[in-house]
Structure 1
Amino acid sequence: MVSRRSFLQASAGTMAAGAMFSPLGMRSARAATPFKPIELPYAFDALEPFIDARTMEIHYGKHYAGYIEKLNAAVAANPELEGMRPAALVAKWKSLPEAAQTAVRNNGGGMVNHSFFWKVMGPNAGGKPKGKVAEMIGAQLGGFDKFKADFAAAAGSRFGSGWAWLVAKGDQLQIVSTPNQDSPLTMGLRPLLGIDVWEHAYYLKYQNRRADYIDAWWNVVNWDQVEENAKSAMG
C-alpha cells in the first residue's frame, strides 16, 4: 500500500522523471486540471474508407472523452495528484495513493494512449517510413515487411482488449503489446507507434475481423509523426 505521505515524498522524483516524456505531455513540471482532450487533427471522415467516420466520432467523442472525465474525477478526489501531467501519472501509477491507482491506470492510460493514437494516424498517409525509423527498422527488426508482419501479429494475438506498440528503449526498437489501457510508459519504454485493438476501435466497420482492421490501418499511419516521435525519444 502507498500512503499519502510516502507518495508526497516521492512525487518530486516522479515529476522529474516525467520531464523526459515530452511528446506525451510530460515535459512541464505542472499541468492544468481538469484535463481536456487534444483537438483531433483531422475530420471524423478523414480516414475513410479505412476507418469510418461513425467509429471515429464515437471513439473520440465518447470513449476518449469518458476516460478524461473519469481521470479528472480521480484527480479531484486525490488533490495531491494536482499538477501532474497525465503521462507522468500513468508512468508511475503504482506509486500513487492506493485509492487512485486503478482509476489512473485505466483512465489515465486511456487518455494518454488515445492522445498518442490520434497523432500517429492521418489522411493521405500510409506507405513506408523514411529516415531514422526506416533505418532502425531495417537494422534491428529485419526490414519493413518483417516488422509489419510481426507488429500485425502482436496486435492480432492480443487477447481481449489492448494495444500493440513499436517502442524504443534507449536506441533499441521493440514490438510489444499491452492489455486494456496499460501504457508502455509503465515499463520505461517510449512509444513511437501504436494501434488500438479494443473492439470499439473497429467493430462498426469490421465486426470481429480484427485482422482486416489491422491490415487497413496501415493506410492511415502517419510516418512523419512516427519519425518525430523517434527523434524525441532518442535524440
Structure 2
Amino acid sequence: MMLLRHLCLTGLLATAALAQAKGVDAVLQQHAPYAVPALPYAADALEPAIDAATMGIHHDRHHQAYVDNLNKAIAQDPALQSQTLRALLAKADALSPALRNNAGGHYNHSLFWSVLAAPGQGGQPSVELAAAIEKQFGSMETFKEAFTKAATGVFGSGWAWLIVGADGSLQIATTPNQDNPLMPTASTRGQPILALDVWEHAYYLRYQNRRPDYLAAWWSVVNWKEVSRRFDQAS
C-alpha cells in the first residue's frame, strides 16, 4: 500500500512538473490577447520566504497589469496582433516603451513563478547543471555569492538572471526595469534558466528596504528541478 501511494505521488508530481513546464514555455508562443498563467502552487506555498499577501498582489495585480497594458498597446498596432511574445521580445529595440516594458513584464514574471517552489520541494540541481555551475563558478556556494552580489547591486528596479549563453556557458546577468536577456538591447544575451525579481514590490511588504534579507530567503524557494529542466532544454 505504501509503495502504491509513493508511486501515485511520484506520478502526480511528475504530471504537475510537466504541466508547469508546458505553461511557462507556452507563454512565449502566446498571441494577443495575452493572459496571465496561473500560479503553479498556492499563494501561501512559499512562506516564510515570500508571504501570501506579496504573492497575491504581485501575481494578481502587478503581473495582470502588465498583461492588460500589453493587450491595450497591441490593440493599437494591428500588425503586431499576430506576433508571439517571443517575436515581440526579439525586436524589443524597435517597440514603443509601452510594448517593450509590458511584454518584458509578462515574460519575466511568467518565468519567475515557474522557478519557485515551496521550501523543501525544489529539489537539487541536476548532475549536469551542478557540473556546469562548478565548471563556470568553482562551486555552488561561489555561484550563489556571485548571483546574490549581482542581484544586490541592481540599482533601482530590475532583475538578476542565470542564463545559458550562445557558447553554452552559464552566465550571470542583470537587466533594468522589465528588460531581459532575450532582448537585443540586453548587455548580456542568452537563454534564461533562473530569474529573480528585485523590484521592491516583490519583497517590500515583508522585508521593506532589506533586499539582502529577501535574497537570502529566496534561495530556499528556488525550484532547481525546473531550473535544471530549462538548462537541459537550453543546452
Aligned to 2:74: 75
Q: Is residue 162–residue 197 contact of structure 1 (8 Å, CA) maintained in 2?
A: yes
User: Residues 37-73 of structure 1, C-alpha deviation per residue, up to 9 Å, x if partnerless?
Assistant: 0111001000001100000000001100000000001
User: Residues 169-224 of structure 1, C-alpha deviation per residue, up to 9 Å, x if partnerless?
Assistant: 13111001110100110144100101000000000000000000000000000000
User: Residues 65-124 of structure 1, C-alpha deviation per residue, up to 9 Å, x if partnerless?
Assistant: 00000000111000101121223212211234xxxx211211110000000000000113
Asked if residue 185 in structure 1 is aligned to residue 179 in structure 2, the reply is no
Q: Which amino acid aligns with 1:45?
A: D
1:113-152 to 2 correspondences below 5 Å: 113-123=108-118, 124-126=120-122, 128-152=124-148
Q: In the TM superposition, what is the alpha-carbon distance from 1:128 to its structure 2 partner?
A: 4.1
Residues matched between the structures, number: 206
Q: Is residue 163–residue 177 contact of structure 1 (8 Å, CA) maintained in 2?
A: yes
**TM-score of the two chains, using structure 2 as the length reference:** 0.84
Cα distance in 1 for residues equivalent to 2:92 and 2:133:
31
Aligned to 1:231: 232
Look up the SS of the partner of 2:82 in the other structure.
coil
Cα distance in 2 for residues equivalent to 1:102 and 1:62:
20
Cα distance in 1 for residues equivalent to 2:65 and 2:50:
21
RMSD of aligned Cα (Å): 1.5
Q: Is residue 24–residue 87 contact of structure 1 (8 Å, CA) maintained in 2?
A: no
Change (3 A) 1:24 1:230: farther
Q: Is residue 121–residue 221 contact of structure 1 (8 Å, CA) maintained in 2?
A: yes
Cα distance in 2 for residues equivalent to 1:126 and 1:159:
29
Aligned to 1:195: 196
Q: In the TM superposition, what is the alpha-carbon distance from 1:129 to its structure 2 partner?
A: 1.6
Asked if residue 159 in structure 1 is aligned to residue 173 in structure 2, the reply is no
User: Residues 103-157 of structure 1, C-alpha deviation per residue, up to 9 Å, x if partnerless?
Assistant: 1211110000000000000113356422221110011111100000000000001
Cα distance in 1 for residues equivalent to 2:27 and 2:165:
18
Aligned to 2:15: none
Cα distance in 1 for residues equivalent to 2:131 and 2:122:
17
Q: Is residue 152–residue 214 contact of structure 1 (8 Å, CA) maintained in 2?
A: yes
1:1-235 to 2 correspondences below 5 Å: 23=25, 25-26=27-28, 28=29, 31-96=30-95, 101-123=96-118, 124-126=120-122, 128-170=124-166, 171-186=168-183, 187=186, 188-234=189-235
Structure 1: runs of 5+ lacking an equivalent: 1-21
Structure 2: runs of 5+ lacking an equivalent: 1-23
Aligned to 1:13: none
Identical pairs, percent: 48
User: Residues 7-56 of structure 1, C-alpha deviation per residue, up to 9 Å, x if partnerless?
Assistant: xxxxxxxxxxxxxxx93644x5xx44210001110010000011000000
